[in-house]
Amino acid sequence: MPAVRPAAVAGMFYPADPGQLEYEVQEFLAAAQPQTFHAKALIVPHAGYIYSGAIAASAYATLKAVAPRIQRVVLLGPTHRVAVEGLALPDCDAFETPLGRIPLDREAMESITHLPQVVVSAAAHAQEHSLEVQLPFLQSVLGDFTLLPLAVGMATPQEVAEVLEMVWGGPETLIVVSSDLSHYLPYKTAQLIDGKTADDIVMLRQPVAHDQACGGTPISGLIVLARKHHLTPHLLDLRNSGDTAGSHDQVVGYAAFAFTGENDHDRQ
């Protein structure tokens, strides 16, 4: 049997029961504003679904029209539990969630292992939620696809961009960056800071600092390539935990963005 990275945060960040999970994801997607983009890349939050599921759904719901063409997802998220130099690949052949198993794109993984900033670390992936919480949404929207998961640690935006460029692909490849915004600020303060961060992303300004977004490094790497490939960012949703399921005393910020091609950014 192939080595499988099992779900680590099912029952904590999202439901462990397959039926309940599928129902919840579909409810989030159905409630999202009906808009469609021919997106090459998304930025989505990664908190527990009760906090950020609705914001994440606003990005995934835009994929409806292009889902049949997407065969591979390159998924990047920051490391929260294990310190890593560079970008870490897992040491397995598949990731599993309550909705099933997702095969990894071994060929794409091998194509970047020669880069000095790319390492292999099972530990970096074992308990990492920033990547895992995206998978049920991807499984619900896309169906069959292969996955290239990268846990991003200490790296520069240029190092991230170099890796992304090698697996950029064409319309069959979707790039997803997993990131929350500010952490544990008062509600009004978070609104101001997260609004500035959203403006920076929409204007393709980088680097995005870690106190602005925990996934600031992969976001910044995406911005480098968005400029190169003439992508246009669209802000889809910007809220925080005070808007969804928490108090206003200390909130975490969430935003969703879709990046579309130079000549393909109109809403369909």
pTM comes to 0.96
Instruction: Annotate 98-125 with DSSP letters as a single string.
Output: TTEEEEB-HHHHHHHTTSTTEEE-HHHH
Instruction: Name residues of the chain where pLDDT drops below 70.
Output: 1-2, 262-268
Instruction: Give the C-alpha separation, 68 to 106, whole Å.
Output: 21
User: What's the pLDDT score for residue 2?
Assistant: 64
Instruction: Give the C-alpha separation, 201 to 71, whole Å.
Output: 26
User: What's the pLDDT score for residue 265?
Assistant: 40
SS3 per-residue string spanning 145-172:
CEEEEEEECECCHHHHHHHHHHCCCCCC
**From residue 187, how far is each of 21, 181, 240 by CA, in Å?**
29, 13, 8
The residue length of the chain stands at 268
Q: What is the DSSP letter of 5?
A: E
User: What's the pLDDT score for residue 99?
Assistant: 98
Tell me how many helices (H) and strands (E) the chain has.
10, 12
Helix or strand or coil: residue 77? strand
Q: How many CB atoms lie under 10 A from the CB of residue 209? A: 12
User: What's the pLDDT score for residue 59?
Assistant: 98
User: What's the pLDDT score for residue 262?
Assistant: 53
> With b meaning 16 or more CB within 10 Å and e meaning fewer, what string describes 124-144?
bbbebbbbbbbbbbbbbbbee
| CA atoms 220, 147, 36, 193: torsion sign | negative
Q: Decide: 123 and 91 in contact? Cβ < 8 Å.
A: no
User: What's the pLDDT score for residue 102?
Assistant: 98
The amino acid sitting at 219 is I
The CATH architecture one would assign to domain 12-172+198-260 is 3-Layer(aba) Sandwich (3.40)
